[in-house]
Structure 1
Amino acid sequence: RTRADFADSGLAHLLAVAGLHLGIVMGLGIAAVRSMLALSEHAALRWPCRQIAAVAGLVLGCGYVLLTGAHLPAQRSLVMAAVATLAILTGRRVVSLRSLALAAGVLLLLEPEEMLELPMQMSVAAVMALVAGFEACATPLRLLREGEHAWQRTAGRIGHLSLASILAGVACLPVGMAHFADVGAWFVLANLIAVPLAAFWIMPCGMVALLLMPFGLEALALVPMGWGNAVVIWLAHHVAAWPGAHVGVPQMPAWGLALFFLGLCWLCLWTRPAWRLWGVAPIALAMMTP
């Protein structure tokens, strides 16, 4: 029942060891290493601290993937993280559609059958929408985050989280229609609460617990981690009980899903607004195929 409620509330991705978890682990590791290097004047002035921290974060990410069983979604995320680390080391853009294309190309060369599987389709759709969406909304978000007033900066942070949930959730809706024949309405609200809680409370507590295990003191971190988990489970139960949280729809045919991806690629890859908006047409047709 709990697993079903996580799916209905749009929080099922929290249960999969994939990009979100790996990003949190690597982000915390990079922040810790850069902070320690900044304590040394010699290192801060003479060493490439950003690149050293990025490599340390990737090593930590590899350890995390191995520790959790090296499942395919985690391997896919690790390939993307390796591409991002390479971009940092070479002074290129860290997040771009080219890096997504490179990572997806490597994965499809290794296991081409994954193109037909749900995790691959959702990952590509979500990341493509996130990269293109944040590029399109970069200016207003930056103005809010750099605003003079506190309410502007707060609105910028909330808008950043909300936009991420909307872009990833909406991009994955047709994939869910094709594989599960259902849609949910409250995923944005649920993720707006659950994702920051996972990033700033649950996952850091888990990492601290791992460090304390050799000394038999892991309970000091696992108990607070359990409090955070309890809040997310409570949220999943309540959101899943709201009207519209789980709506059955006719299953989207395979050619409808292909049409959706064609429209999504068109919408995300073009930079001219007049050309880009033509991608809405195949997406609308795809949504009508059920």
Structure 2
Amino acid sequence: MVQVSESLFYKDVLLVFFEKEGYVYSNSSPTLLENIAKNLNNLSAPASAPKNFIVVHKKIIATSAFAVGGLVLTPIIVVGLIQAIGFGVGGIAAGSFAAWLMSLNGGATAAGSLVAILQSIGAAGLTAGATIGTGAAGATFMGTAGAKLFEEKSDSIMADLTERMDSNPKGQAQLDEFVKVYEEGNEDKNSEKGSTRVVFEIRDKLLTNNEAFKNFLETFVLAYNASKKLVNKKQQFKFFVDKTDKMDIAGKKLENLNVHLVKNYGAECVDKQAQSCTIMLNCSNL
């Protein structure tokens, strides 16, 4: 899986959404930015398509031989399930679960990807399915299919974000005028040794732009939800305003931020320090 630092991930996501809304310079097409934003939204939200698939095909699943230790599949059942979700002899069925999987990569099917593998099995039928193996091997294949798809999609998202950052230094510099994102060592005795904290240094340009500030709040929550799946670490954050002549505005914006964080993560995770214009967010227990 493609790896980036936590702070860079948040900065990448903010850059995409600030480009998309026109707050900073963009050298990408609106369609590209929209696709990246859509992928991040899909990743941060509960996966509804697999759930709907199970509801629609519950009769097939219910008759596919469940054992106490898990689902046991024969090669025939494996192929049947693959074809049932839309990977058929004539190709991928429109409106099916298979079509949804393919849409995650913009309709493209890379050689060796999960979609390509499933389609080859569904098209060839039992002959190809028999190569999967019997019983436990079939269960292992189906059990790891979702993980393979997620890894492919995660790598694609991370690569897109990294490419955006690398290709748009002007937009990156302008984003720093709104909010500067970086990491600092975490000295909190209750934190894991050597852990880091992602810092959001909020600048006047963000404080005085209500729409941009609202976008920042929404984008942070989206990025955090996505990062739980992509970065998969217990994370801590610091939001602060430093040396501004707009303290009245800063106080109101920090209160808005405090309310937003408490609403999304609970009061027990948020520590507002009014005197230093700082808000700490500890998501270690979430």
TM-score between both structures, scaled by the size of structure 1 = 0.27
- Greater per-residue strand proportion: 2
Q: Larger helix proportion, structure 1 or 2? A: 1
- Higher Cα radius of gyration: 2
